[in-house]
Amino acid sequence: MEHDNQNKNITSISSGEMDAGARIDKWLADQLEALSRSRIKALIEDGQLRVDGAVMTDPSAKLSAGQAMELTVPAPRPDKPIPEKMDLDIRFEDEDLIVLMKPAGLTVHPAAGHWTGTLVHGLLHHCAGSLSGIGGVERPGIVHRLDMDTSGVMVVAKSDRAHKGLTEQFAAHTVERAYIAFTKGAPAPKAGRIETQLVRSSKDRKKFEVPWDPESEAGKHAITNYETLARFGQDPRAAIGTGLAAKVECRLETGRTHQIRVHMAHIGCPLLGDPLYGSRRGGIIASSDNGRELKEFRRQALHAAILGFKHPVTGQYHRFEADMPKDMQRLEKFLERL
């Protein structure tokens, strides 16, 4: 049975006795001729399938007899983003590139659940008539990204030549990138280098993790250098000098998805407020006086503070620094009172 719900096509279907043990994406592809297996797999990974009322995100899961499934197929999106007027904090702009301060809460690129209101939509409006084309298409060139809830400075290409030159610099790891993070617990040692592989979690497709085998070559190589700038409070369960929280500078040699968030969690110091790799509750810190300030911090405490690169056209070196936004400044003042 198929029905339309707010421009979404929802298909309801149930498995029979003979279907038990079948791989769910393949079985659905056999039942629904209008959708390819790859399309169904993508929909499942995007959380569009419910099995017996619960969201299923594993396309390789095996069916049981008598399971009720609902597959939602969102309405087709426009083949290209429509420009949207947006207040952008521009730090530098010329005919080849633009440097801006991205606020927390702004998604960089259109993706599932964010087909409008992204930075790309805002840049298409701001740069109307000045984009010379990336790969022959009038669009801004996203050469690196910040997670939706990470604030900070980033650069975007406006021309094909700038896109090519910036991409080469990021690939060669010659771009200076420094982030400020507030962590639950303090790193030990105070400074260090984290070098691991990063793989997508088999339990949660939205997460990444360090393989349990340190010799594994699966996934992508990732390197983060960190330095503790300040420690806050005293963990009553640990040795003297063990902080409840810390302010940490992280410098990237590679730029993998969620890299800092995964690496800091890997060494036992997840970012405060991180809903994926830490805990919004904050434990002992949140139970302290005025702990509500941490509870009200609604994102991972991560800010891209420094970005330095060689202009891909003029050859001039540019270095930009962005102060922490007010929410992170308030968080730091709270931590200083621990």
Summarised one tens digit per residue, pLDDT across range 54-67 is: 999 999 999 999 99
Closest CA to 155 of 107, 93, 95, 110: 93
* Mean pLDDT taken over the chain: 88
Q: Indicate the pLDDT class of residue 161, thresholds 50, 70 and 90.
A: confident
> Does the annotation mark 79 as catalytic?
no
Task: Check residue 57 and report its DSSP letter.
Answer: -
Helix axes 24-31, 37-45, angle to 10 degrees: 130
Residues 161 and 291 both lie in one domain: no
Query: Is the pLDDT score of 196 beyond 90?
Result: yes
How many whole angstroms separate alpha carbon 162 and alpha carbon 29? Answer: 42
Write out the H or E segment, with its range, that includes residue 259.
helix 259-266
Q: Domain limits at 12? A: 2-73
Q: Are residues 223 and 316 in the same domain?
A: yes
> From the candidates 19, 25, 147, 327, which is the catalytic residue?
147
Same domain? 133 vs 231: no
> Domain with 309 in it: what CATH number?
3.30.2350.10
pLDDT 10s digits, 136-147 = 556 788 899 899
Q: How far apart are CA 133 and CA 123, in angstroms?
A: 13
Asked if residue 166 and residue 182 are part of one domain, the reply reads no
Q: Are residues 109 and 187 in the same domain?
A: no
Same domain, 262 and 303: yes
Q: Determine phi and psi for 307, rounding to 5 degrees.
A: -140, 120
Query: pTM for the full model?
Result: 0.75
Neighbours of 146 (CB within 10 A): 21
* Distance in angstroms (rounded) separating the CA atoms of residues 282 and 220: 30
The model's pLDDT over 72-117, given as tens digits with 9 standing for 90+, comes to: 987 766 557 889 999 999 999 999 999 999 999 999 988 767 788 8
Domain end among 144, 172, 200: 172
Give the count of domains, the chain. 3
